[in-house]
Amino acid sequence: ATFPGTLTICYLYGILLDPRILGAFSIVGLFSLGVVGISMAVSAYASSIEVFVTVRSTVQLYFSFFSTLFFSPDVFPSFLRPIVLANPMTWAVEAFRQLSKPGVGLGPASVLVVPSLAFAALGTIVYLYHNQL
């Protein structure tokens, strides 16, 4: 669903046949890498598939509702704004919004490189440590 969804959004942004589509797929790929890393870390300690799915769903809800996906940061109460601004989905959404501007390349995706690689590394390390591989 990610590939067709990204293509649809790129069409709506008017960048379907534009080099900025590489930026769009970079953003989606980097954000997905970070989410997979978090899922790996959670799965290492989950005692059952039910626990894993519950925790993963909770994290996904946090990413969605405490991000700028639906609302601007100004709408959130002041005590929630730091959480919203530290949310990786906020970074991905804002990077995607930057793609609507002409002349933007892969720059917006660069904000996700370090956190996504850190989450992926954390997930890998936790999983390997927990499973003694």
pTM score over 0.85: no
pLDDT (tens digit per residue) in 89-113: 998 888 888 888 777 666 777 888 8
Asked if residues 125 and 39 have their Cβ atoms less than 8 Å apart, the reply is no
What pLDDT is stored for residue 59 in this prediction?
Answer: 87
pLDDT (tens digit per residue) in 63-76: 899 999 999 999 99
Mean predicted confidence (pLDDT) in 49-64: 89
Residues in contact with 93: Cβ distance below 8 Å, sequence separation at least 6, in sequence order: 67, 68, 69
> Could you tell me the two tokens for 123?
């997930």
Name the residue ranges covered by the structural domains of the chain: 2-131
> Could you tell me the two tokens for 77?
């109460």
| Closest by Cα among 118, 127, 119, 132 to 52 | 127
